[in-house]
């Protein structure tokens, strides 16, 4: 535990694979993350920078991520993500779990699932995250309105009492007030974190810091990693705003409603 302490409650700027290699095995209680989806490597239409029409019109993601190429060859992307997950799994305590958010999509007319990415990992459950859909110009399939969260646990992982009653379909509206192109909603992360007794929570693709901010609001420790200096600064500013709030650091609002100081 001493070796992990110097990283706790920090946002670390760097390649997550390289940074995670610095952490000792079985030092993390919970990992909640959502990687870049490699959306620019797509057979679909309109995923080009500054697109004004089509299903990606005006979407922040069309301009990609800061400091990451979201157009990797598919096999290269799969290998990278599988390596990341295997490294995350090494870090988990025997009571820990990974909640890994990703998205299935249609490529060349067929569903592209994520089984190749998950190879060698013990997936216990697939949680459906129902969110607002967009526009689908393809008459060959219905408008996608969900993403998935893979629960990848170590053998002794358990939810806190009562949390198993939530079911495996969760409806949360995506975050609209965040400058990051693909932010988590606070309420989604709150459900995951508060459903466990995890003390140290890691997000290897921390982006604007939603996992860190939510962990802080629930009085847990966090570690965030991101390759983008821009996103790391965004996360640090966001954390600082909530840390200095008089009602440290969130005001409770209903069930699963942490109110962030924006």
pLDDT in tens, 195-222: 999 999 999 999 999 999 999 999 999 9
Integer Cα distance of 130 and 127 in angstroms: 10
Give the pLDDT score at 136. Answer: 77
Domain locations along the chain: 2-243
Q: How confident is the model at residue 247 (pLDDT cuts 50, 70, 90)?
A: very low
> Is residue 13 scored above 70 in pLDDT?
yes
Give the pLDDT score at 251. Answer: 46
Q: Would you give the DSSP letter of residue 141?
A: S
Burial class (CB in 10 A: 0-12, 13-18, 19+), 116: middle
Q: How confident is the model at residue 148 (pLDDT cuts 50, 70, 90)?
A: very high
For the residues of 37-98, what is the DSSP string, one character each? --TTS-SSS--STT--SSTTTT-GGGG-BTTB-S---HHHHHHHHHHHHHHHHHHEEEEEEE
Q: Which residue has the higher pLDDT, 49 or 248?
A: 49
> Is residue 53 scored above 70 in pLDDT?
no
> Is residue 51 scored above 60 in pLDDT?
no
Q: Is the model's pTM score more than 0.75?
A: yes
Q: Which residues pair with 113 in a beta bridge?
A: none
**Residues of the chain by 3-state class (helix, strand, coil), percent to 5:** 25, 20, 50
Give SS3 for 45.
coil
Per CATH, domain 2-243 is 3.40.50.150: yes
Q: How confident is the model at residue 107 (pLDDT cuts 50, 70, 90)?
A: confident
Give the pLDDT score at 112. Answer: 84
> Is residue 169 scored above 70 in pLDDT?
yes
Give the pLDDT score at 78. Answer: 95
| Structure tokens that stand for 251 in this block | 């005001």
Contact 89, 27 (CB under 8 A): no
Q: How confident is the model at residue 56 (pLDDT cuts 50, 70, 90)?
A: very low
Q: How confident is the model at residue 55 (pLDDT cuts 50, 70, 90)?
A: very low
Q: Which residue has the higher pLDDT, 42 or 91?
A: 91
Give the pLDDT mean for 158-165. 98
Give SS3 for 235.
helix
Give the pLDDT score at 134. Answer: 73
């Amino acid at each position: 535990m001493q070796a992990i302490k110097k990283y706790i409650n920090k946002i670390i700027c760097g390649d997550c694979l390289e940074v995670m290699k610095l952490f000792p095995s079985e030092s993390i209680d919970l990992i909640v993350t959502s990687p870049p989806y490699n959306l620019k490597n797509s057979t679909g239409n309109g995923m080009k920078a500054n697109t004004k029409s089509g299903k990606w019109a005006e979407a922040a993601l069309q301009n990609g991520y800061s400091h990451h190429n979201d157009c990797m060859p598919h096999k290269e992307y799969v290998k990278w993500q599988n390596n990341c997950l295997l490294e995350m799994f090494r870090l988990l305590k025997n009571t820990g779990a990974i909640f890994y958010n990703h998205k299935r999509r249609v490529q060349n007319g067929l569903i592209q699932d994520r089984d190749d990415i998950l190879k060698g990992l013990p997936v216990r459950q697939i949680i459906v995250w129902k969110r607002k859909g967009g526009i689908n110009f393809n008459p060959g399939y219905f408008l996608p309105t969900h993403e998935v969260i893979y629960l990848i646990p170590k053998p002794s992982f358990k939810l806190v009492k009562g949390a198993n009653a939530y079911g495996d379909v969760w409806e949360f509206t995506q975050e609209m007030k965040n400058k990051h192109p693909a932010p988590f909603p606070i309420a989604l992360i709150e459900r995951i974190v508060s459903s466990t007794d995890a003390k140290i929570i890691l997000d290897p693709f921390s982006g604007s810091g939603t996992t860190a901010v939510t962990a802080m609001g629930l009085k847990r420790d966090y570690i965030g990693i991101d390759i983008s200096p821009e996103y790391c600064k965004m996360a640090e500013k966001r954390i600082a705003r909530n840390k200095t709030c008089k009602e440290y650091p969130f005001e409770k609002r209903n069930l699963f409603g942490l109110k962030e100081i924006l």
